[in-house]
Amino acid sequence: MGAELYEYTVPYEPDIQAALDKLRRRVFDDKEFNGAEFDPPTPEAALEATEADGTCSILDIGRISDQPDIFCACPLSHEQLEQYFGTPKPTEAMVWESRDFLEDIERGMARYVILYEGDEPKRIYFAGYSFD
């Protein structure tokens, strides 16, 4: 089995960890993950039940980090935003049109991008790949 891409957008809030936590809760409550058929009691139990495959969802990502790491979501750098989108303030349309940045995400890791309308942050885009 190969790594599976997952993607989500959520309303912007300055506390990215809080946004991630809310997204994880929604995905868990809506049973939108590999292993939902086991009816795990918590997102952590879901991850344990799926072993090496992971949940193939944002449930595999527990925290925000400044650097890429397993089980973490980190932002694209200023240089990467310029490289992929030509601006440090990409719109949602830019992210959906330019998919090259996805190739830089490793298995079991996620990245996030703050999406703008003009100079105003509006949404947060999360993308990652399953472990297997």
The radius of gyration of the chain from alpha carbons, rounded to an integer in Å, stands at 15
The answer on pLDDT for 46 being more than 70 is: yes
How much of the chain, in percent, has pLDDT values that exceed 70?
A: 98
* Range of weakest confidence among 47-61, 76-90, 98-112: 47-61
pLDDT at residue number 131: 87
C-alpha of 58 from chain center = 6
Could you report the per-residue pLDDT of 15-42, keeping only the tens digit for each? 999 999 999 999 999 999 999 998 999 9
Q: In this model, does residue 51 exceed pLDDT 90?
A: no
Query: Within the chain, what is the greatest distance between any pair of CA atoms?
Result: 44
Is the distance from CB of 116 to CB of 39 less than 8 angstroms? no
Burial class (CB in 10 A: 0-12, 13-18, 19+), 35: buried
Q: What is the DSSP letter of 83?
A: H
What's the whole-model pTM score? 0.94
Is residue 53 over pLDDT 90?
A: no
pLDDT at 106 > cutoff 90: yes
